[in-house]
Each structure stands twice: as structure tokens, then as C-alpha cells.
Amino acid sequence: MSLPNNQIWFLTGSQHLYGPEAIEQVGEHSREIAAHLDSVEAIPPNIVYKPVLTTPEEIYTVCRAANTTANCVGVIAWMHTFSPAKNWIAGLSALQKPLLHLHTQYNRDIPWSEIDMDFMNLNQAAHGDREFGFMMSRLRLRRKVVVGHWRAAAVQAQVAVWARAAASWSATQRIKVARFGDNMRHVAVTEGDKVAAQAQFGYSVNGYGLGDLADVVNQASDAEIDALTAEYAASYHMSADLRKGGERHASIREAARIELGLGAFLREGGFDAFTTTFENLHGLAQLPGLAVQRLMAAGYGFGAEGDWKTAALLRSLKVMAQGLPGGTSFMEDYTYHFAPGRQAVLGAHMLEVCPSIAADQPALEMHPLGIGGKADPARLVFDTAAGEALNASLVDMGDRFRMIVNTVDCIEPEQPLPSLPVARALWQPHPNLSVGAAAWITAGGAHHTVFSQSLSTEHLYDFCEMAGVEYVQIDKNTELRAFKDALRWNEAAWKLGV
């Protein structure tokens, strides 16, 4: 998951009309801008300067090279001068990497006392970029347009968001999801077309028998289990009966065995994400709870009950969020607090919430599970920190995928929850629970989500633009009737293919 190994190519358009000196000046300016953006820590990929482009052949060649350069995750284009956009038709038509149009200019201020026509001819992105914009619109290209001076923090922040989305989009196309067992019986929203998903997102989803996993779990050695249980003891609050020498320590060792086996299976198979289902645990002593939580914290995507869409989405968003403050987890809307004026959602799962979102050091506990018919599973129990977050859900609408995103405020529980033996988060959806949940349900959003404290709606919007996926947002400004209209318009737009 190394974002800094990725490259974003910085392409500058011009033409020969201005003479070689002007082109040289354009190149110097462009190199300086690319180097500066490369030095901005908030933009993890390397920004790579490419020589100024003046002909259709050069443009086509560099776009094709971007396509076939594995670690090139996107291109930034800027027209320092006026670059006739017919030059860009072949290249832009061939380009398969995400595109950001940086509408900037080298100088921030107009040099009032010195400005002359030479300066005007050199610094004319104001109209050169409009010519370029027309061509991208004429070709119906999805792209992000960022406007402002290249040293401005707001401009760099928008580039940084897009760069993270681009790196994630590149990684998403190589995600391998391992499914242990099938979908939870009769559940609809966790189902979907895996072939369509591979065509749309590039990731592959394949099933494995539980016996295959159990074989690897049974291979874990006593020495490995000793080391891992010692790591648990050092990392989490644990009661004496679960610690070494305690009467229930054997169950903790069983949980460690499952983590070792699951981790080995995923590593050896080159998987990035996985699903389990409590309805099929053949050969495993416990539902994998602690193992799933710790593997999520290590960067794996996960979906419960066979939910491969959420598993892949969690992996995509973990790649996107790496290095940012806060955590990103599998989540489920579980139960409601309907107290007037304090309405909130209690999110949790049977066990599988990622400790990256924990407010404090988690407790490792062992409790019975009402369903599944297996031994008491180990799990990490914690509260989630208060603050801004979002929930994202990906559903299969039959003719397309739809992402639904709801911004939320995480809040502290009004009282402790001493009898609830799972990790949990409490949040107020925007604009409020009544409108937020009504909009979510109207859009067909799932009960399973990816919950993130690290990412903004802009990250997810940019990602959906790259993936060509419908994006709907529920936020502080959402009004239910306008939201329903937008869903209808999207339905028509997607049917028309626009």
C-alpha cells in the first residue's frame, strides 16, 4: 500500500506559434510548478514533469505511455499558453488514466506596471485552458477541474484529494477478494454481479471452501501462537482468565490460530480483501472476530456475510486514506436512539469493526455469540472517537453500481454500555436521522458500509468519477424531495449513457 511509489505526470500544452524562446520559458515555468507540487507532502504520489507538448504526435505518444506505465496513476494537464485543442483529440481519446485539469497560471498577480503584450501572450491559460476544456467536454471526458494559483493551499488540497483517489483507483483495479463461504442466505443487498464488478472496477472476487482455510489454520505452530498471544497481551486490556495461565486462555490461543491461518492464506494467495459468513464456519472453532479486526487494521478489506462489494470498497478506501489521521472500518447500522432532539445511530457488527477507529486502547474479550453455533469468539471491544466521519455504501442497481455517501457526526454515548460486548460507534447522520435515513433508504443504501474518519466526500466523489460510477451524497444540505428528483434524473442519465 505504498502511495509514494506512484507517479502523476504533469503535462503542459503549448504550440510553435510563439517561437522557441517562449516554449523554453513555458518549460521552465512548468518544471518549477511540477517540482513544487511534488514537494508538497500532502500529495503522496510523485509529480513528474514531462516536456512541453506542441504537436498531436507528442500528445498521443505521452498519453499512450501514461496508459502503459504501471505506476502512473493519473495525469495533470495545464495549457500555459494557447494549445489548439484539436492537437489533443487523439491523445485524450486514447488516455485511460484519470485526468486532472489544473487551471492555473505561473504568476499569481498581474504585474500592473510592467505588463505588456509579450507577457499577455506567454501567460494566457485563462483562454488556453478554456479551449482545452471545450475539447474534454466535446469528447465527454470525466475529469476534475481545479482552479487557482499553484502555490495556494486550497488548490494543492484539491490536487491531493484527487491524487489519493487516483492512487486508490489504480490499486482497486488489482484487488483480489477471497470469499470464504457464500452470501448470507436470502440477503439481497450484499449480492451483486461479480462479473459486472470486475468489468467496472477491475477487481476479482473468487470463492474458497472453508476446508481450504481450515487446513491453513491447523498448520499454525505452537511457537507462532505463543508469540501472537504475547502480542495480544501487550496490546490490549485483557482479564486475568484470558491471560497466559488463566482458565480461558486456550480460547485466546484458538483465536490466534485463526488469525495466523487467515493471514497466511491471504498473504500466500496475494489477496487484498476477504469475506466470511457466520453461516459457514466449517472446520473453524470460532467465528473469526479478533482475526478479522486485526487484519482490517493491517490494511485488508473485509465484508461480513459474504459482502464482497463492501470488502473491496474498504480496501480501496484504506489505500486512499493511508497516512491520514483517523481510521476506516467495515460498519453496520445496527440500532437507533430515537430520543427527541438527540436521535442517533448505534453502529457495530457481531464482532468485526476495525480498531483503527478506536478512541482508546481496545479490550480483548471473549463472550458467547447468540447465532452461528460455535465456541465463544474473541473480539476487541472499544468506543469510537467523537468527530466528523462518513459512511459509504456500494449497491448493485442491476444496470449499474451506485455509491451512496452520508456525512455524519460521531458523538459520545450518553451513558456507558457495560453489557454490550462489541466495538461500536454512535453517530448523528446529516442533515438529521429522519432525513438522512429516509434519503439513504430511498437510494437503496445497504446496512453494511465503509465508515471513515479520514476521507472526505471529495475523495469518494473523485473516485466515482474515475470509476464511472453513480455517486449520490447525503449531507447537511440534503432536502428529501430534491434528493429523490436527483435519483430519478440519474436513472434517466444512466439509461441514456451520458
Q: Which is nearer to Mn ion, 236 or 440 (CB)?
A: 440
Q: Which is nearer to Mn ion, 91 or 306 (CB)?
A: 306
> Per 3-state DSSP, what percentage of the chain is helix, strand, and coil (rounded to 5)?
40, 20, 35
Q: Which is nearer to Mn ion, 305 or 465 (CB)?
A: 305
Q: Which is nearer to Mn ion, 259 or 332 (CB)?
A: 332
**In angstroms, what is the minimal distance from the CB of 330 to Mn ion?**
9
Q: Which is nearer to Mn ion, 129 or 332 (CB)?
A: 332
8 Å CB contact between 212 and 283: no
Q: Which is nearer to Mn ion, 72 or 422 (CB)?
A: 422
**In angstroms, what is the minimal distance from the CB of 470 to Mn ion?**
23
DSSP secondary structure string for all residues of 13-69: E--GGG-HHHHHHHHHHHHHHHHHHHH-TTS-SEEEE-PPB-SHHHHHHHHHHHHH-
φ, ψ dihedrals at 232, nearest 5°? -55, -50
Q: Which is nearer to Mn ion, 167 or 348 (CB)?
A: 348
**In angstroms, what is the minimal distance from the CB of 350 to Mn ion?**
7
Three-state DSSP class for residue 270: coil
Q: Which is nearer to Mn ion, 304 or 380 (CB)?
A: 304
H-helix or E-strand spanning residue 464: helix 457-467
**In angstroms, what is the minimal distance from the CB of 227 to Mn ion?**
32
CA distance 120 to 22: 12
**In angstroms, what is the minimal distance from the CB of 300 to Mn ion?**
17
Which residues form the interface with Mn ion (CB under 5 A)? 304-305, 332
φ, ψ dihedrals at 210, nearest 5°? -65, -30
Q: Rounding to the nearest 10 degrees, give the CA dihedral for residues 353, 355, 360, 365.
A: 70
**In angstroms, what is the minimal distance from the CB of 345 to Mn ion?**
14
Q: Which is nearer to Mn ion, 332 or 470 (CB)?
A: 332
CA distance 95 to 9: 12
**In angstroms, what is the minimal distance from the CB of 302 to Mn ion?**
11
Three-state DSSP class for residue 249: helix
**In angstroms, what is the minimal distance from the CB of 305 to Mn ion?**
5
**In angstroms, what is the minimal distance from the CB of 289 to Mn ion?**
13
Q: Which is nearer to Mn ion, 332 or 465 (CB)?
A: 332
Three-state DSSP class for residue 371: coil
8 Å CB contact between 232 and 364: yes
8 Å CB contact between 439 and 474: yes
CA distance 96 to 339: 50
Nearest by Cα to 451 from 406, 397, 415, 402: 406
Three-state DSSP class for residue 241: helix
**In angstroms, what is the minimal distance from the CB of 333 to Mn ion?**
10
Nearest by Cα to 403 from 318, 335, 497, 316: 316
